[in-house]
Structure 1
Amino acid sequence: MLVTLIAAARGSSLLDARFGDDRPLDVAGWQALERAVPALLPLAAAELRYCSPTASSRQTGVALGLAPLSQLALRDCDMGRWQGMTLQEVTLREPQAVEAWLADPRSAPHGGEPLLAFVSRVGGWLDTRPVGEDGRVVAVTEPSVIRAALLYALRVPPHAYWRTEVHPLSVLSISGGPGRWSLRVG
């Protein structure tokens, strides 16, 4: 099976990125998507097409001609009481909690989902995808979900999550199946 994950076009500037951001695409996001459509359009040929439930993921998927099915398992990490806040806002209010969250992948000082649980949830989605006749799956989701999928597929330590960048409209392809995923470059 080949799973291709596409990072949704942006719904806000990087400086205004908020935990659990569900805003629709902004002007810059639509413009970037318009430029990317020709290169990403062939992915719409995949038999199985999904997206996270956020507005930006749905809009990106529709613009790419995917007509994607929304999947709760592809939602961003549950950030509990930090939901809707920027990292800067949270750091000003709860500096020790942010430090604990970044240092320990099992911690959830925000009352939401620990990083390890998030990675496991995304990995569970990967491992349980049905395989269509063409063996291809495509999904549009948040960059954080793609980072989690990368960690799960490669079985790298959780701290690698903080050292991985995924930009809007980036594409990650992994192949294989449960317990035997490989990164595909190119």
Structure 2
Amino acid sequence: MDARLLLVSHASTAAQRAGRFPADDPLDARGHAEAEAARTRVALPDDAAVFVSPAACARETALALGLAATIDDTLADLNYGSWQGRRLADLVAEAPEALAAWTRDPDAAPHGGESFSQLVKRMGTWLDARHAAIMGTASSLSNTNRAPHVVAITHATLLRAAVVHALGASPAVFPRIEIGPLSVIELRHSQRGWTWWPASPASI
């Protein structure tokens, strides 16, 4: 019996399209429209336990998808420290060396922020805790052999971290993983540990 998790990245924000680092931005009209449209194509399990980042864009995405979700602070976006809300183009001019180090070194972090290596550890801890909770729930269900599903509405950075953790890869590969708005990835846990699956047709 495998534990099955579906991770969904939130709809796009105006800040993303303007090339700004996130600052707890809400969805704008375009993001809301994208999320509403996704509701017809993203078929998430009815019996899933649903968790969501505390960020406004994630919570609004969950609502647009018709999901009643529990806020989980561990699903918060990468902490961008002093770069929060700043334009990438401005940082290229003002702090090119720090920005270049951050894009290449998974242990580098924005001033006062969080490195990608730290994010992988945070997301790995969350995934392993969810697996333990799933197995505990499944063992109490005597009328089914199927583990319950878990859905998380969160950020592209956390989906990237989840893939790195599931594959046991080096955090240094993070620039090679692209996750767009409203992307869905599926992870399963079995005796082999975590595996990354293509999202099933019923889930995209």
User: TM (normalized to structure 1)?
Assistant: 0.91
Say if 2:15 and 2:25, in contact at 8 Å, map to a contact too: no
Deviating 4+ runs (over 3 angstroms):
none
Structure 1: which 5+ runs fail to align?
none
Say if 2:15 and 2:22, in contact at 8 Å, map to a contact too: no
Q: How does 1:25-104 map to 2 (within 5 A)?
A: 25-40=27-42, 42-104=43-105
The residue type paired with residue 171 of structure 1 is: V
Residue 10 (structure 1) aligns with: 12
Which stretch has the larger CA shift, 160-169 or 130-139? 130-139
State yes or no: 1:147 paired with 2:160. Answer: yes
Could you say which structure has the larger radius of gyration?
2
* SS of residue matched to 2:99: helix
Say if 1:57 and 1:142, in contact at 8 Å, map to a contact too: yes
Say if 1:101 and 1:109, in contact at 8 Å, map to a contact too: yes
Deviations 1:135-164 (CA, angstroms, capped at 9, x unpaired): 210010111111111111112222221111
Which stretch has the larger CA shift, 76-85 or 169-178? 169-178
Say if 1:100 and 1:109, in contact at 8 Å, map to a contact too: no
Residue 176 (structure 2) aligns with: 163
* Structure 1 residues 151 and 75, CA gap change in structure 2 (3 angstroms): same
The residue type paired with residue 122 of structure 1 is: M
User: TM (normalized to structure 2)?
Assistant: 0.83
Report the Cα distance in structure 2 between the residues aligned to 1:17 and 1:145, rounded to whole angstroms.
Answer: 19
Deviations 1:64-97 (CA, angstroms, capped at 9, x unpaired): 2221111111111111111111222222111111
Q: Over aligned residue pairs, what C-alpha RMSD do you find?
A: 1.8
Which stretch has the larger CA shift, 170-179 or 59-68? 170-179
Give 1:13 shift: 5.5
The residue type paired with residue 106 of structure 1 is: D
Could you tell me the percent identity over the aligned residues? 35
Give 1:46 shift: 3.4
Report the Cα distance in structure 1 between the residues aligned to 2:119 and 2:22, rounded to whole angstroms.
Answer: 13
Give 1:107 shift: 1.9
